[in-house]
Structure 1
Amino acid sequence: MKKGNFSNLVPPAIVLIVLIVIGMLIKGGGTSTSIVIGKEPLSGLPLSKIGSIVITKNSEQTPSTLTLTRADKQWVVENKNGYPADADRIEKFIREFKDMKVLRELTAGKSQLGRIGLLDPDNASINSATRVSLLEADGKSLIHTLHLGKELSAPGSENQNSQQGFGGFSDRRFIMIDSKRSEIAVVDQTFSNASPEPSDWLNKDFIKVDKPNSIEVIYPGSEATNSWKITKSSDVAEWKLDGTVTDGKVFDAASAPTSPLSSPSFNDLATDTEKAQLDKNATQIKISTFDGLNYHVKVGQTPSGSDRVIQVETTGSLPEKRTPGENEKAEDKVTLDKEWAEKQEELKEKLRKDSAFNVYAYRVSSYTVESILKKRTELLKDKEKEETESPADPPVPFIKPQ
């Protein structure tokens, strides 16, 4: 080949490379898709590059949008003022896109999108898709847009609707990738977590009260006479009711809520208005533990449905040094000091986590607190009558004659 001919080939080659690179970028985030039956069209989805997820759904003529953002090494729900999101749910959700397999490929005309539920939610509420936008950390660079259409049942299944092919038990779904009608497929995922409801995405981790030694319920206003407090002096001691007890009554420890808030959860964050109402006539629950942690709970009225609004303030007074036992041996001191120090670190971490909830108010199911909110009279039972009559003489045993 002559030198002049080789020089003429270089410019077209460079142009071709540039066009390929541009084409890949246009595909979205540097990843390409290919609709092939049995293959994963988004197998190259760069999970680590996803910094924002926007879910849009139109069910009542007005699109509702959820925004999840990765901030400070954790996911947050922007719609809830940056409250921590459920990272496990998010990871599972985006991995479903990466792992989905094509069961059927098709191309649809614009007029056919409504039939398979792929109309854009910005333009329609009936037969519209749930739109999922995956963006990079800047919140602007789009990686992929996924339109999720109608769900389907497996062909031949009992739940399949013979006319439309849509059954009651769904195991697959129409999806359109990057708004391209030429890239529509039925995939082996239903993406059931694709909800724009912010409360569905909140991290529902909450406080957990361990080893309480004092539980007090304080009712406001005219209900103050229903207030009560129970305490115990050690792990093995019995619970005691503070104050005098009405004649003929005794404290019924079995009916007392002695394990309050041991594994609570919440349904949603309370609104600012609901939170402000807690400063007006809220019932209070005060719990102290053997570990030195204190929980002050304000309980509001039921705003709607079966939820109650609460706010928890967690504080703690942890000792700086261990108090040696009365008969502690010198050779045991090193081991005991180490165990105590490790336990204190655990308590400091627990205090840090539980106190992070102090600034929020929450909506919880009513049963979370109603088992604690007993009236003082409900903790009492009738005193058993003492036996005044001597027991009857035992029967004379029968002795068989010899």
Structure 2
Amino acid sequence: MDQHRRHAGHREPLGHRAGGLQAQENSGKMNRKQLAILIVLGAAIGALGLYVSRRNAASYQSAGEGGAGKKLLPDFPINDVARIDIKQDTNELNLVRQDDSWTVRERYGYPANFQEIGDFLRKMWDLKVVQTEQIGPSQLSRFELSEESNGTNAAIRVQFKDKADKTIKAVALGKKHLRKSDSPSPFGGADGFPDGRYVLVAGGSKDVAVVSDALSEVETKPDRWLNKDFFKVEKLKSIALTHTNATNSWKLTRETENGPLSLADPKPGEQLDAGKSSPAGNALSFPGFSDVVSPETKPEDMGMDRPIVAKIETFDGFTYTLSIGTKTNQDNYYLRMSVAGDFPRERAPGKDEKPEDKEKLDKEFKDNASKLEEKLKQEKAFEKWTYLVSKWTVDPLLKERKDLLAEKKEEPKKEQKPAATNITTQPKITPPPVPALEPKKENKPVEKKPDSDQ
């Protein structure tokens, strides 16, 4: 028992515990060292950030800095803006608000990009001055702000008007402010890249303001401001093309949403090439348009008097009819579309459907039906317009029938036997061998015998 007590009361000598204390001390030293490194790194990063900030600010430094930090358009009532006029030299663009939507007047009242216009108005409301410069009228041309400048060097003049067509605010956008990069780009741009713009506010200070936004989106191009939402073909079931030449027409169908396409009514020897027909299966799944055409354009000027017609049906019950006209010099095609929808009004109960599942399934069916009706309503709005679409958008619809078929493999040609004739063929006679010639004997001279008398 005493022995067990001695062992039980045994304490590890201090020398054996020193290793643990030493490890803790080393760990403490390492933590302090790491902390010191982090502090140094933090200071370096802070100094770098300060340097970059000052360098950016230095790129705007000029003779005057009055007004820096203030709003470019103080008290700008963006909710009262009902029209935006953008002019540059002889080019003009008018964005007009009608009820809760915006339209492009130079595109026959076609809907404008509501989101983009809203972003532009909010940007102008919040835009702040980085610096100002006192510039005389004779120097305005240097900053592309002179009234006399023309072409691409002319200022872009923007007017914000209310419903009564009264100007609320007006600005002139001049030359873009460029900042040179420390490391030159291999793609050029030696003059730097735009990081701001020179702006002159009408009716305000005569000083030219510099803002920290290049405002590159402000252009007089009408197609730049169009709402580019378009129809979208989903769950394609069949696609039929009617060409002006009936021999080039074709129709492809599929049994299921993800099933393979097959050629309808194939002619003897015709076999569909899956690789060639695959693009047609995804036709118009993400279509887009470049521009809209004037409603006054004559059908014969667009090839709409004899168009290629595509009829597309989907598993959701949509039927699209597209008329494709001629190609323009810019490789765009004229296109018109119409859409119809035939959706089930009631859900067919499934086999062995449980009562507790009925309410959930009915709700899903109703929600889906509402989405289909809304999609149909939105796409119906595209029917009254003629669009310009890119070649790649309609390329799968321009294929001729032969372009979708597999190439026929040529059978190897059989050796042809000579045709039989009435001429009797004589048996081939083998001539006898030529006898060998005997070697020619040489004539030796006759030896003379001596006379016997001598």
Q: Which residue number corresponds to residue 80 of structure 1? A: 107
Q: Which residue number corresponds to residue 136 of structure 2? A: 109
Q: Which residue number corresponds to residue 93 of structure 1? A: 120
Q: Tell me whether 1:353 sits opposite 2:378 in the alignment.
A: yes
Structure 1 segments (4+ residues) deviating >3 Å? 123-127, 155-159, 272-275, 326-331, 382-385
Structure-1 separation of matches of 2:401 and 2:296: 31
Q: Which residue number corresponds to residue 199 of structure 2? A: 175
Q: Which residue number corresponds to residue 146 of structure 2? A: 119
Out of 273, 293, 297, the residue aligned to residue 322 of structure 2 is 297
Out of 266, 270, 273, the residue aligned to residue 252 of structure 1 is 273
- Does the Cα contact within 8 Å between 1:77 and 1:198 map onto a contact in 2? yes
Q: Which residue number corresponds to residue 321 of structure 1? A: 346
| Matched length | 339
Superposition pairs for residues 1-400 of structure 1, below 5 Å? 36-58=67-89, 63-120=90-147, 124-125=150-151, 127-138=153-164, 140-154=165-179, 167-180=191-204, 182-220=206-244, 223-247=245-269, 249-256=270-277, 257-272=280-295, 274=297, 276-277=299-300, 278-382=303-407
Q: 1:134 to 1:158 in 2, by over 3 A?
A: farther
Q: 1:135 to 1:157 in 2, by over 3 A?
A: farther
Q: Which amino acid aligns with 1:135?
A: K
| Worse-matched range after superposition: 109-118 or 174-183 | 174-183
Residue 368 of structure 1: CA displacement? 0.2
Structure-1 separation of matches of 2:217 and 2:257: 44
- Does the Cα contact within 8 Å between 2:180 and 2:192 map onto a contact in 1? no
Q: 1:283 to 1:181 in 2, by over 3 A?
A: same
Q: 1:110 to 1:227 in 2, by over 3 A?
A: same
Structure-2 separation of matches of 1:73 and 1:214: 38
Residue 158 of structure 1: CA displacement? 6.7
Structure-1 separation of matches of 2:152 and 2:320: 48
- Does the Cα contact within 8 Å between 1:146 and 1:179 map onto a contact in 2? no
Q: Which amino acid aligns with 2:142?
A: R
Residue 103 of structure 1: CA displacement? 2.4
Structure-1 separation of matches of 2:391 and 2:182: 41
Q: Which residue number corresponds to residue 35 of structure 2? A: none
Deviations 1:314-369 (A, max 9, x none): 11112222222344344432222211111100000000011110000100111100
Residue 272 of structure 1: CA displacement? 3.2
Structure-2 separation of matches of 1:365 and 1:187: 37
- Does the Cα contact within 8 Å between 1:54 and 1:134 map onto a contact in 2? yes
Q: Which residue number corresponds to residue 400 of structure 1? A: none
**Percent identity for Structure 1 against Structure 2:** 33
Residue 168 of structure 1: CA displacement? 4.4
Structure-1 separation of matches of 2:312 and 2:180: 57
Q: Which amino acid aligns with 1:251?
A: L
Q: Which amino acid aligns with 1:343?
A: N
Structure-2 separation of matches of 1:369 and 1:329: 47
Deviations 1:127-176 (A, max 9, x none): 421000011232x22111100111121377678xxxxxx93411111100
- Does the Cα contact within 8 Å between 1:96 and 1:191 map onto a contact in 2? no
CA RMSD between the two structures: 2.6
- Does the Cα contact within 8 Å between 1:35 and 1:102 map onto a contact in 2? no
SS state at 1:363 partner: strand
Q: Which amino acid aligns with 2:342?
A: S
Q: Which amino acid aligns with 1:150?
A: K
- Does the Cα contact within 8 Å between 2:130 and 2:211 map onto a contact in 1? yes
Deviations 1:291-324 (A, max 9, x none): 1111100001112211111011011112222222
Q: Is there any run of 5+ residues in structure 1 with no aligned partner, and where? A: 1-33, 160-165, 386-402
Residue 383 of structure 1: CA displacement? 6.7
- Does the Cα contact within 8 Å between 2:238 and 2:252 map onto a contact in 1? yes
TM-score (structure 1 length as normaliser): 0.78
Structure-1 separation of matches of 2:115 and 2:68: 29
Q: 1:358 to 1:346 in 2, by over 3 A?
A: same
- Does the Cα contact within 8 Å between 1:68 and 1:77 map onto a contact in 2? yes
- Quick check: which one's helix share is greater? 2
Q: Is there any run of 5+ residues in structure 2 with no aligned partner, and where? A: 1-64, 185-189, 411-454
TM-score (structure 2 length as normaliser): 0.69
Structure-1 separation of matches of 2:305 and 2:133: 60
Residue 111 of structure 1: CA displacement? 1.6
- Does the Cα contact within 8 Å between 1:216 and 1:228 map onto a contact in 2? yes
Deviations 1:48-67 (A, max 9, x none): 12111000001xxxx11101
SS state at 2:271 partner: strand
| Worse-matched range after superposition: 105-114 or 337-346 | 105-114
Q: Which residue number corresponds to residue 58 of structure 2? A: none
Q: Which amino acid aligns with 2:208?
A: I
Q: Which amino acid aligns with 1:173?
A: R
